[in-house]
Amino acid sequence: MINVDQLVAIDIHTHAEKSCRMPTDDEAQAMEEAKKKYFKHATGQPSIPEIASYYRERRMACVIFPVDSECATGMHRVPNDEVAELVAQNSDVMIPFASIDPHKGKMGVREARRLIEEYGVKGFKFHPSIQAFYPNDRLAYPLYELIAEHGLPALFHTGQTGIGAGMPGGGNVRLKYSNPMLLDDVAADFPDMPIILAHPSFPWQEEALSVATHKPQVYIDLSGWSPKYFPPILIQYANTLLKHKMLFGSDFPLITPDRWLADFAKIPIKDEVRPLILKENAVRLLKLRPETV
């Protein structure tokens, strides 16, 4: 349904944070207030149809997902089914990813299989710091096996997170789980599963670049930071060795694509590399053109 030739960009990293069917947990609302302060944004939590309209107006498409951290946090997720159903109504600009807490074991694998078979979800989002698991922990491997079986990408938060920042104890969110080097094991064990390392991976940027350079199926998305803060080594690799593996992502609604793109235009990315990052690498990874299938 997506006409990629009419798009100016594909945002690989946007969040479904508001359910149209379920009330928001009090704990989740406290996290939201902390996020607003950390990211200095006033966008709030738009609904999925509102996000679709936002991207449609800008001639962009977006990958959108919830984050399932129910076991670690006790907070209800935005249901995967709801996300998939609303995305299906906006399939001209939206690509559905799902999220399964790895601690859910066989029940989680069963849900993931159903989401693939019934809704055609195109990938899965993991946030190790919030879900409280090491990505190379064998508890997650049954999920990876299913994702790899279908040749779908798995997107992992890496590096520091703004979630819980400034709250007492960081909201009990532990940064140690999101070192990108932990995904080197996953990439070695699942060579048929594309892996996206989300965000400039502060304070482990060089580890992320190393893994993406060494493992053919590992990509990096550039979401969560304004490009004006990108470290020079990330820009260097984006222009050279990893120019076909860097992906535009905003982290909307925490950072808007308008802000991200305005700052991206000011950094020294080669003219021939810009369209790769903004759209073409995602088109190839997500198989959005018939010839890429």
Q: Where are the domains of the chain?
A: 4-292
CATH class of 4-292: alpha beta
Tokens 């899965």 sit on residue: 124
| Mean pLDDT, range 94-117, rounded to an integer | 98
pLDDT band for position 234 (cuts 50, 70, 90):
very high
Provide the Cα torsion 41, 222, 121, 283; round to 10°: 130
Banded pLDDT at 42 (limits 50, 70, 90): low
Maximum CA pair distance of the chain?
Answer: 51
Q: How much is the average pLDDT of 140-162? A: 96
pTM score, whole prediction = 0.92
Tell me what the mean pLDDT of segment 289-293 comes to: 62
Specify the DSSP element, H or E, that contains 263.
helix 257-264
pLDDT at 37: 62
Per-residue confidence (pLDDT) for residue 165, from 0 to 100: 75
Task: Render 272-291 in DSSP notation, one character per residue.
Answer: TTHHIIIIIHHHHHHT-SGG
Share of the chain above pLDDT 90, in %: 82
- pLDDT the model gives residue 292: 43
Q: Which residue has the higher pLDDT, 8 or 19?
A: 8
pLDDT score for 55: 98
d(CA 137, CA 269): 36
pLDDT value for 127: 97
Asked whether the beta carbons of 94 and 135 are under 8 A apart, the reply is no
Please determine, for residue 86, whether its predicted confidence score (pLDDT) is greater than 80: yes
